[in-house]
């Protein structure tokens, strides 16, 4: 019997009213059959069955409130029977009854005890386990790739603990536990595709597991001492078996204790973050990580910035988005292999093909003298540091762009799907391309025209960190109106960017260089120069429009004191 967990219905809804059951207990249902109608504060929603089976129990009555991620009804899947694992409960795989532990030699395991005990335990787990149903992840996504399991089968997990990372064609998404319990079985291996509304893993809820906790701990201690279960009554004390009383009292799962033994760690040295001080797998891994960092800090070399300073540019002033993650040196040989294109990389490939083939691109290049802007940023840096904010050039670049949009709003528009209308947007949401763990992402800062420089800087830092970790909320990836690609952070000078559809323009920023230029008196002087390259949608933008826009944007950046006069 498996519980159907009410999935996410979207838009942050956490509960809904069960209006009508379309099934009853005893009904045989098919996959995707409508089973219930629920009412949210938005609309009436039909809930489909994730798989075929026989309805065993309805947990809510019509008119009651059902909570998201809570069981809605129970179903026996097609082909299940009450006798599942029955042979395992009685004995081994061959159906023979295992010899009783009472006849086993003292201090040794009875022959077949391991297999019999394991089979019985698995049968009990099967009967009591529930399936966690992969909820809706939004935006019509029907499947995702299982990237990393953060727990192991047998682990005890807490409510809201991260269980697994899954990759959609939008972003890396964390799936968390709906309630406290013990993991019994994974339905998918890493690298496999899991379907929304299908079971992701099986677990035994803590409420069902609590009754067995005392006997489970005692059984675990016995097994670690090397005795058969039936010889538990003759088990030595914790001290006699080499385990201190403090160690015996600290709760932890067998998987965690095995990890402790592998690394020769004392469980009492690790602070447990679980319920009642339970030591979780994450606690052990965090302890090992701290140990590793402490051991390696003393001889870790400090990175030098001399290679940037010799050009006269403060490396801390470089605008940070699109900075690529550093990679370990690769082996000095080539090999033939095939790597599937999926996740963010796959959707990026589709969008770039769509954009480059559907949008007639034209490019416009120029250079910016950012000498005065760098000086202003240097003066304001200490104030930003006191606010706990790292101040780069990017917030100034974004703010100047939003001010220029007020004069040329067509740059902040988009074209309707049927190409019959130009859609002007009421907010300037500027995206920035970031090369992160999950691939290239373009999160956007919302309402740049309304934000201060410091507020933009905080958003830039937040989105950059999230993108580099591959964990950008989908709301931050939607609604962009204009984009920046900071190729200069990687050392490039020129680029011909591809528009992030449905936007109509994107600018690529080159690296800042100290170059000779003539001043107003004809004297040669050193200036900080940044190259920029615009790409525009020639269906609704012409060269004159983008030149006027770029010139105004350039003027604000080259004369930041005048930009301040235009701030709202």
Q: Which helix (H) or strand (E) holds 531?
A: strand 524-537
Contacts of 206 (CB under 8 A, 6+ apart): 179, 180, 181, 182, 275
Catalytic, out of 363, 425, 538, 555: 538
Collapsed DSSP state (helix, strand, coil) of residue 316 = helix
Backbone angles phi, psi at 434, to 5 degrees: -130, 125
Instruction: Decide if 538 is catalytic.
Output: yes
DSSP string spanning 187-211? SS-TT-EEETTSEEEEEEEHHHHGG
Long-range contacts of 125-128 (CB under 8 A, 24+ apart): 125/184, 125/185, 125/202, 125/204, 126/84, 126/85, 126/184, 127/1, 127/85, 128/204, 128/208, 128/209
Cβ neighbours, 10 Å, residue 121: 17
User: Side-chain half-sphere of 309: how many Cα atoms within 13 Å?
Assistant: 5
Helices (runs of H) and strands (runs of E) counted in the chain = 15, 26
DSSP string spanning 35-102? EEEEE-SS-EEEEEPSS-EEEEEE-S-TTSEEETTSEEEEEEETT--TTTTHHHHHSSTTSPPPPPGG
Q: Which helix (H) or strand (E) holds 366?
A: strand 361-369
Collapsed DSSP state (helix, strand, coil) of residue 2 = strand
Catalytic, out of 266, 291, 385, 542: 542
Cβ neighbours, 10 Å, residue 328: 5
Instruction: Decide if 206 is catalytic.
Output: no
Q: Are strands 482-485 and 430-432 parallel, antiparallel or unpaired?
A: parallel
Are the C-beta atoms of residues 37 and 23 closer than 8 Å to each other?
no
Partner residues linked to 15 by β-bridges? 67
Give CA–CA dist 510/230, Å, rounded. 73
Cβ neighbours, 10 Å, residue 407: 12
Reading the block at residue 85, the tokens are: 């694992």
Contacts of 340 (CB under 8 A, 6+ apart): none
**CA distances in angstroms from 322 to 437, 468, 484, listed in the order given:** 12, 9, 9
Determine what percent of the chain falls in helix, strand and coil, rounding each to the nearest 5.
35, 25, 40
Active site residues: 538, 542
């Amino acid at each position: 019997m498996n519980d159907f967990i009410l999935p996410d219905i979207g838009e942050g809804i956490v509960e809904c009213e069960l209006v009508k059951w379309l099934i009853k207990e005893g009904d045989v249902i098919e996959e995707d059959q409508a089973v219930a109608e629920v009412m949210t504060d938005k609309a009436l929603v039909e809930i489909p069955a994730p798989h075929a089976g026989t309805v065993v129990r309805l947990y809510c009555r019509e008119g009651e409130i059902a909570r998201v991620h809570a069981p809605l009804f129970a179903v026996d899947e097609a082909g299940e029977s009450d006798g599942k694992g029955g042979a395992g409960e009685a004995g081994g795989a061959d159906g023979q009854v295992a010899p009783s532990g009472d006849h086993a030699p003292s201090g040794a395991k009875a022959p077949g005890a391991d297999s019999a005990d394991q089979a019985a335990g698995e049968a009990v787990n099967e009967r009591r386990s529930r399936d966690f149903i992969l909820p809706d992840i939004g935006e019509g996504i029907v499947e995702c790739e299982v990237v990393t399991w953060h727990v192991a089968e047998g682990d005890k997990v807490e409510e809201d603990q991260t269980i697994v990372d899954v990759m959609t064609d939008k972003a890396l998404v964390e799936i968390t536990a709906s309630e406290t319990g013990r993991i019994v079985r994974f339905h998918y291996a890493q690298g496999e595709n899991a379907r929304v509304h299908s079971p992701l893993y099986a677990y035994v809820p803590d409420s069902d597991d609590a009754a067995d906790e005392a006997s489970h701990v005692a059984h675990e201690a016995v097994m670690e001492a090397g005795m058969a279960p039936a010889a538990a009554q003759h088990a030595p004390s914790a001290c006699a078996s080499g385990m201190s009383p403090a160690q015996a009292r600290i709760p932890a799962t067998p998987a965690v204790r095995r990890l402790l033994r592998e690394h020769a760690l004392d469980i009492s040295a690790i602070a447990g973050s679980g319920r009642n001080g339970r030591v979780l797998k994450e606690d052990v891994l965090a302890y090992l990580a701290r140990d590793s960092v402490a051991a390696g800090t003393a001889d870790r070399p400090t990175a030098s910035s001399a290679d940037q300073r010799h050009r006269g540019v403060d490396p801390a002033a470089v605008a940070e988005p699109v900075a690529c993650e550093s990679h370990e040196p690769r082996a000095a040989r080539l090999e033939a292999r095939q790597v599937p294109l999926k996740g963010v990389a796959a959707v990026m490939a589709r969008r770039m093909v769509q954009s480059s083939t559907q949008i007639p691109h034209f490019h416009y290049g120029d250079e910016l003298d950012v000498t005065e802007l760098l000086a202003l940023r240097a003066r304001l840096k200490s104030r930003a540091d006191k606010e706990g904010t790292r101040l780069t050039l990017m917030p100034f670049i974004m703010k100047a762009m939003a001010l220029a949009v007020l004069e040329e709003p067509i740059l902040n528009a988009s074209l309707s799907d049927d190409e019959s209308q130009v859609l002007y947007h009421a907010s300037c949401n500027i995206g920035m391309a970031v090369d992160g763990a999950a691939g290239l992402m373009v999160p956007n800062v919302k309402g740049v025209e309304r934000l201060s420089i410091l507020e933009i800087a905080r958003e830039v830092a937040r989105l950059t960190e999230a993108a580099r970790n591959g964990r950008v909320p989908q709301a931050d990836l939607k609604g962009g109106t204009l984009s920046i690609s900071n190729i200069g952070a990687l050392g490039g000078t020129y680029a011909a960017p591809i528009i992030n559809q449905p936007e109509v323009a994107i600018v690529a920023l080159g690296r800042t260089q100290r170059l000779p230029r003539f001043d107003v008196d004809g004297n040669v002087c050193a200036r900080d120069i940044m190259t920029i390259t615009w790409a525009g949608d020639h269906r609704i933008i012409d060269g004159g429009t983008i030149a006027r826009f770029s010139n105004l944007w350039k003027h604000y950046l080259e004369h930041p004191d005048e930009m301040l006069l235009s701030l709202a």
